[in-house]
Amino acid sequence: MKKHILTYGLCGGVLIVLLKLVEYRFLVVEHSIEIYGGLIALLFAVLGIWLGLKLTKNKETIIVREVPAPQSFTLNETRLRELGITRRELEILGLIAGGLSNREIAEKLFVSENTIKTHSSRLFDKLSARRRTQAVQMGKELGLIP
Amino acid sequence: MKKHILTYGLCGGVLIVLLKLVEYRFLVVEHSIEIYGGLIALLFAVLGIWLGLKLTKNKETIIVREVPAPQSFTLNETRLRELGITRRELEILGLIAGGLSNREIAEKLFVSENTIKTHSSRLFDKLSARRRTQAVQMGKELGLIP
DNA sequence: TTTGTCGTCATACTTTCGGGTGAATTAGTT
DNA sequence: AACTAATTCACCCGAAAGTATGACGACAAA
């Protein structure tokens, strides 16, 4: 803003000098004062318009629109290490969240049901959960599962 | 827009007349030509600025900023009726998803644990779920719970 | 008034879950 | 080679969850 005003002033100064030259060399001697005034009027009008445009250049209307969240899930590896949860345990947490029973998980992973029990037990310990539903809840809160 | 230009022109005309009067009565006779030029410059500059402002008055830059909406959940009432799930059952589904046990839910709602069992049983039937984790999963998919 | 839905509760039984303990195997590190 | 972490598996027991069935009262609709 200050820059514009400064520029405006400089242009004015230059113009004055220019006018002086014009005045003494051609116009006043050869033509009428109307031309002189008209020139000044024209130039300053143009400058004024330019300044006006500059002054209003930054009129912006910001519209904030909410778009549906793009479902970007990124695993919170830090928390994983903090809690000491292993890959296998995380995998099982995901399957539990998927609504599978221990037996189904065991079949899916080709291991015994007891193994799944061991994993989930340790998982619950690390998550401070007592039930699988609670574990799912915490897992979501901690950013371990989507 | 045209109105503005017209006004501008009229102002200019009035000014010319005014200047003529000023010219012949005071200024040119008594003062130097610089005052005359300065006056014209000032007036036209003001007019120019005014016109510039008018011209750009409606030129607003509209910036649309898209912001991810923070999980706006709306209950799917239609599906609720389709499945014949009652308010109470939905309430219990929510608490199950929150990781509560049947006993905890019973205490929270001041009813017996058997009641919760009955409700959840019927709920699982309607959701075609065999386990509470599965019910939670389906509930989320069907838009019954956040 | 009858009918139907909803919410409540109970009893009995089966299945699943979760806790505790111990241990073998594998893979990676020092 | 020794050590550690991760994974695997087993057995037992109690708690929680789920199934099946029946019942009762409130309340609204037909």
Angle, helices B33-55/B2-22, rounded to nearest 10 degrees: 170
What's the CA B23/C1' C22 distance, rounded, in angstroms? 115
Binning pLDDT at 50, 70 and 90, where does residue A108 land? very high
Phi then psi for residue B69, to 5 deg, are: -70, 135
Q: Average pLDDT in the A63-74 region?
A: 76
Separation of first and last alpha carbons in chain B: 53
Closest chain B residue by Cα to residue A96: B133
Record: contact B45-A45, CB cut-off 8 A: yes
**For chain B, how long is the longest CA-to-CA vector?**
110
Nearest-neighbour CA in chain A from B79: distance (Å):
20
Looking at the structure, give the CATH architecture of the domain made up of residues B77-141.
Orthogonal Bundle (1.10)
Q: What is the pLDDT of residue B122?
A: 97
Record: contact B62-A67, CB cut-off 8 A: no
Helix (H) or strand (E) holding A93: helix A87-97
For nucleotide D11, give the residue with the nearest CA to its C1': A114
Identify the residue whose tokens are 């501008």.
B8
Specify the pTM.
0.65
CA B78 to chain centre: 28
Chain B residues in contact with A136 by the CB 8 A cut-off are 99, 133, 136
Record: contact B48-A53, CB cut-off 8 A: no
Find which of A32-36, A65-69, B129-133 is predicted with most confidence, using mean pLDDT.
B129-133
Binning pLDDT at 50, 70 and 90, where does residue A74 land? confident
Does residue A39 sit at the B interface (CB-CB below 8 Å)?
A: no
**pLDDT tens per residue across all 146 residues of chain B:** 555 656 555 645 566 666 666 565 555 555 555 666 666 667 766 776 676 666 666 556 778 777 777 778 888 899 999 999 999 999 999 999 999 999 999 999 999 999 999 999 999 999 999 999 999 999 999 999 99
Give the C-alpha distances (Å, rounded to integers) separating B94 from A17, A96, A119, A140, B133.
82, 18, 27, 15, 12
Structure tokens at B106: 């019973």
